[in-house]
Amino acid sequence: MIRRAAWLAAFCLTGLAACSSPKSDPAEARAGPADAVPALPIVLDQFGYRPDDPKIVRIRQPREGYDTAWSRLPRLTYYVRRADTDEAVRSFALDASENKPVDAMSGDQVWQLDISRISEPGDYFVTSGDGSEASGAFKVSDDVYRPVLREAFRTFYYQRAGFAKTEPLAGAGWTDAASHIGPGQDTEARLYSAPDDARTARDLHGGWYDAGDYNQYTNWTADQCRTLLMSYLENPDVWGDDFGIPESGNAVPDILDEARWGLDWLLRMQNADGSVLSILGRDTANPPSAATGPSRYGPASTSATLSAAATFAFAALVFGDSPAPGHADYAARLREAAVSAWTWAEGHPSVTFLNNDRSTGSEGLGAGQQEADKEYLNIKRFAAAAYVYALTGDTAIVPAMDAALAKTSLMQSGQVDAYRYEAQDAALLLARRPETPPEMLTYLTLVFQDRLTLDGGEGYGVPVDALHWGSNHVMARTGALYLDAARLSASPGDAAAYTARALDYLHYLHGANPMGKVYLTNMGAFGAESSVGEYYRSWHTETPIPGFLVGGPNPSYEWDACCPDKCGNAASNAACGKAPPSPPYRQPPLKSYLDFDDGWPLNSWQITENSNAYQAAYLRLLANFVD
């Protein structure tokens, strides 16, 4: 019986694809598809499935893209076999019509093989009837995703700033001393515009590195804390006290401990008048503890303060319901911070700050631009008002809350998408409160089910509004939206259909995609046949830390604008290579991906950088399917 390794070896020997190892010369190594091994013809969730869940395996025939050299019709019969004995458990017929439309997102003809009748726990794989094609092994088990959840959650521990990663909690190859706590760093950070003024020094230690770099942004940290807490409320029994972080074993769910690590940093970012600083820029080195440059912060802004107000208020609700010792006092502190932040933001509705921008003299402060535009500032105002109102019951907030809600696209046009989740989450929380008129819940039910149709299930079953940098974030958020629709549905059949679609997005991230790739780093020890082996991160380790979700396919990928021959000198030009790496360049959208970690000028961060925003959204989706 041909298994994955043997199939790949046979495939490479045919000469139909270049399966060579990466070359040592970066200028040559990324000049073509040599490092991209085509996915197997049978792709599925490489971790597996729960017994009673739908199990749709994709059989693919590439018609467009880098892997078209391998192209043949699928077989008419497939078997599910036991992984330990090769015994055929059940056969399945496939209608392998040659007229199958090509999926525009992937460039593949995709047939769906429903093996849902396989429900007995065990380890299996799928083969074609003639044995010429085989999937990797997968597991059927109630707890199939629990190890995945544990590793993906632990990435936040590795992202902690100012905290030592030591054995045994950190793996031997992933240890490091506490970072950014030296002279002039996080414990005595200074205002970016007054670096020589000791009076601006602030203790801003803690929090998480935002992504592959070490900077931290209030708007995004607040969002990540809130998303973790949302995940806890949606499925609290999943979140135990044994995830292998420093606080494990303290009788508090580890997700609350980790969220508190981020919340404590947000509290340090708050000024005495209630306003909240916008950004903390940190020096970069490998490993993080080797960074010795100063830490600089940006001033308070309305968007940062509203983001913090919303998260402080929501966190106060969550910690206020926790019976753990000290949580009542912590909730009271969060409540005070939320009210103070809301009050300042209402009195200062349009204070902005552009980081890393010439107009403010802030070049080099952070990487991504954290300031919100007019639409998203209004969303933040509504979310902050909604959570503060839910926390305090202060009816004086209601006029501002209603005015902001009325301006959202959720109310203006019934828009529901993966980008405006701050408004959607807050509206759903409000709608379920007893004092809210029932018409609001009715309206939300209608718009969610109108926007989140069950059409578009062909191909890989993951329609999204757009595919771009951070597409895996969009996939995870869209999957969570389908779960919202399932919760809103009064029909068990519709709820099951929405839940099945949410599972499609999870399975996509777990390998049921045209790359046959689990978009988490280094998950081979946890069941993945092909997971991310290289990703862009300032902290380079010999092997990747397990569990980071990378950005994913990006059809907008471009090497730097200076390439191939205008990068300043011959050496820089040579770093471009002869052509952009393809994939990801000029591939069908879902094939616009490559495992690589090159910095400038190939800019792999557009494809393979991790982000806490991606991670939190993925955890929220995944946790709903952990029993």
pLDDT tens track for 574-601 = 999 999 999 999 999 999 999 999 999 9
pLDDT on residue 35: 59
CA–CA distance, 216 with 170 (Å, rounded to integer): 22
Q: H or E segment at 531? A: strand 531-532
Q: What angle do CA 8, 11, 14 make, to 5 degrees?
A: 150
Residues of the chain with pLDDT under 50: 1-2, 6-7, 9-34
3-state secondary structure of 293: coil
Report how far residue 327's alpha carbon sits from residue 334's, in angstroms, rounded to the nearest whole number: 10
CA distance 426 to 380: 10
Q: Which of 595, 606, 600, 604 is nearest to 563 (CA)?
A: 600
Tell me the sheet residues that pair with 123: 139
pLDDT in tens, 339-369: 999 999 999 999 999 999 999 999 999 999 9
> Quick one: pLDDT at residue 82?
97
Tokens matching residue 211: 């992504």
**Angle of helix 374-392 versus helix 421-431 axis, rounded to 10:** 30
Residue with tokens 């902005």: 352
Beta strand pairing call for 279-281 and 518-521: unpaired
**pTM reported for the whole predicted model:** 0.95
99, with CB counted inside 10 A (0-12, 13-18, 19+), is exposed
What is the C-alpha separation between 362 and 55, in angstroms, rounded? Answer: 51
Which residue pairs, CB below 8 angstroms and at least 24 apart, start in 193-197? 193/299, 193/361, 193/362, 195/294, 195/296
Report pLDDT for 627: 86
pLDDT at residue number 570: 95
Residue 512: closest CA among 104, 97, 56, 140: 56
Cβ neighbour number for residue 136 with a 10 Å cutoff: 23
Whole-angstrom CA distances from 350 to 373, 382, 418 are 11, 15, 26
Instruction: Express each pLDDT in 487-530 by its tens digit.
Output: 999 999 999 999 999 999 999 999 999 999 999 999 999 999 99
- Number of Cβ within 10 Å of residue 324's Cβ equals 14
- Taking the CA atoms of residue 466, residue 478, residue 144 and residue 514 in that order, the dihedral angle to the nearest 10 degrees is -20
